[in-house]
Structure 1
Amino acid sequence: MFTTLRNRRLAATAVGASAILALAACSNADPTGPAPEEGDGGETSASSETVVVGSFAFPESQILGEIYAQALTEAGLDVETKFNIGPRQQTIPALQDGSINLMPEYNGNLLAYYDTEYEERTTEDVDAALVDAVAADDLQVLDSAEAEDKDAYVVTQETADENGLTAIGDLSALVPFKLGANPQFAELGYGVPGLKDTYGVGENAGDVEFVPIEDFGGPDTVAALVDDTVQVADIYTTSPAIKNEGLVVLEDPENLISSQNIIPLLASSVYSEDLESTLNAISAELTTDDLIALRDRVEGDEKATATQAATDWLTEKGMLG
């Protein structure tokens, strides 16, 4: 069974969730060392502090943590890992107290942690807002990746072809239809209310029949979509089911759903030019399709370890010798 983004969002933004898999050993080292010296202009050119990479308690985050850790080790930095930590209520304090000093994050959810009423939606706007938001905790972000793991309105290829569906607004041609998603989706701003307010879909009573499905875009939701119990579903963009079932993610030109790009979040004390260039190079290569493939290897039938999946991806991209 594939872990879904809504479960992960709840785990990463609200209450703690049970650990899914501990795919890497935790480090017990105390990463508290002398602060790096400042160079000209106040910018740190090198850090003597050990880079301790953390992760949330779900496989995708642990895979990303492994990618960061292995690439930084290859770049000659002293690296340790402390994975499977829990929600942001644990990871942000860990970044502040030095238990960890680097995390793979999701830009939209990270901004929501600091500003629950944020209005930014595009990658560029969210990233820009994050700079000041995290600085209050002496943290910083680097370049975000193209890769996103976020909610999406999804239909089958057959439904898309028969109704000319390519974007969310095209769902007006499908009404009436059933929409399957987690129960909260009926009230979320990017859920049923946003579908009406932003795209004018569901303006008439009975246009959209909401069908709550408890597995947050998981196998039950996918099955309901494939067998036509529902015609539209909220499934997350790195779900391997999108490719395995030949599903269609509808485009969102009005940015109803905020960006959720992968972005490195680090303590300013550990910053170095080598760290920045290494992580920015990863972000420049990492795509949503890559995340799907990595998750499929680890969570699917192969049951590859996060370590091996990360090694193979970095090798393929020429980042490991």
Structure 2
Amino acid sequence: MRARTRLAVGALGALTAAGLLTGCGEAGSSGTAAPEQGSSGAGCAPVAGDQLVVLTDDKKLQNTDNVIPAISAKAATPPLVAALDKVSAALDTAKLIELNRAVDVDRKTPQVAAKEFADANGLGQVDKGPGGQVTVGAANFSESQTIAELYKIALTSAGYQVKVQTIGSRELYEPALEKGEIQVVPEYAATMAEFLNTKANGKDAEPVSSPELDKTVAALKAAGDKVGISFGQASQAQDQNAFAVTRAFADKYQVATLSDLAAKCSGKATVLAGPPECPQRPKCQAGLVQVYDFRAGSFSSLDAGGPQTKNALKTGVASVGLVFSSDAALAAS
């Protein structure tokens, strides 16, 4: 569903320290790795269940990928920004999950899901601006398209003539935003900050995003200022990497946070599922080792927050898996 690159499975960077990934093992015929050295505990065997819950990232492994409007500086007038900020103020992660569920599970169109949300959250009541033509760009996944429709509703209410155009990847729409060919795009704070950072400073540039939202947004705005892109208010809605278990697993082992998982479930029976690059990535297994000292007994190479990982959790093949924090599959949790 998602086309954008995730920080959580991004470049390894500084976490290639010797010994960090010791014992990850080679993939076997089952797609799982051998147990990590040092995982001497019993661990927590998978528990099947239909409901998935995200474990709280209490030590802030992940950076802050909050939804935020990106605006061409040429179009960033106070009335336009204020209309977009009203959308940000109405969004949090739970509401974003429900929006995604409406589209991805209930099969409503992004337009219908956005209108229902806008009606329920007063997005049609926005102070009038000077009007004019506005093109809202969207990436080629449903969440971006739904948020773009929310922006359209708020901007239309403010007196603008708005169209939504699905453009594709960030590599395509970001230059159009710089040039003012499109005026607004839904963005994600940490991912966009690193995109602009590496575009300006090279792929090995020191990261500028942070687990602290204010720091990430400050770095994002500084990078945007250099290329003619402004940003509105960051919402409380986050779409970032997270680690999920089944509700049944959480109840059986009494785990609610990643610290709980590390304390109770490091050991041979625990199976971590994620994309093939997860063991080497600083926001995936490598980060779990460094930040939480969580050591799974084995790793199952599947996908990044996709159907394979979620199915492995629900069917009792994996104990914990990498998901996205706004996934519609979490709505019933």
TM-score range, shorter chain: 0.5 to 0.7
Conservation of the 8 A alpha-carbon contact between 2:241 and 2:324: yes
Percent identity for Structure 1 against Structure 2? 26
- Cα distance between partner residues in 2 of 1:163 and 1:36: 52
Give the Å deviation of 1:98: 2.2
Partner SS state of residue 299, structure 2: strand
Partner deviation per Cα, 1:181-225 (whole Å, 9 max, x = no partner) = 1112121111111101111112xxxx43111103x2222211100
Letter in 1 for 2:135: V
Letter in 1 for 2:307: P
In the alignment, is residue 190 of structure 1 matched against residue 279 of structure 2? no
Please point out which of 265, 285, 293 is paired with 1:174: 265
Residues 37 and 185 of structure 1: CA distance in aligned 2, closer, same or farther (over 3 Å): closer
Partner SS state of residue 132, structure 1: helix
Residues 208 and 108 of structure 1: CA distance in aligned 2, closer, same or farther (over 3 Å): farther
Higher relative contact order (Cα pairs below 8 Å, separated by 6+ residues): 2
| TM-score normalised per structure 2 | 0.58
In the alignment, is residue 59 of structure 1 matched against residue 136 of structure 2? no
Conservation of the 8 A alpha-carbon contact between 1:181 and 1:234: yes
Counterpart of 2:235 in structure 1 is 145
Counterpart of 2:151 in structure 1 is 68
- Cα distance between partner residues in 1 of 2:266 and 2:217: 36
In the alignment, is residue 106 of structure 1 matched against residue 188 of structure 2? yes
Counterpart of 1:165 in structure 2 is 255
- Cα distance between partner residues in 1 of 2:216 and 2:140: 24
| TM-score normalised per structure 1 | 0.60
Give the Å deviation of 1:75: 1.1
Conservation of the 8 A alpha-carbon contact between 1:131 and 1:141: yes
Residues 208 and 128 of structure 1: CA distance in aligned 2, closer, same or farther (over 3 Å): farther
Conservation of the 8 A alpha-carbon contact between 1:180 and 1:210: yes
Give the Å deviation of 1:50: 2.0
Partner SS state of residue 277, structure 2: helix
CA RMSD of aligned residues (A): 2.6
Counterpart of 1:238 in structure 2 is 326
Conservation of the 8 A alpha-carbon contact between 2:131 and 2:158: no
Counterpart of 2:244 in structure 1 is 154
Partner deviation per Cα, 1:143-163 (whole Å, 9 max, x = no partner) = 011111111111111211222
Residues 38 and 103 of structure 1: CA distance in aligned 2, closer, same or farther (over 3 Å): closer
Matches within 5 A, 1:297-312: none
Give structure 1 regions of 4+ aligned residues with deviation exceeding 4 angstroms.
Answer: 35-39, 45-49
- Cα distance between partner residues in 2 of 1:135 and 1:129: 10
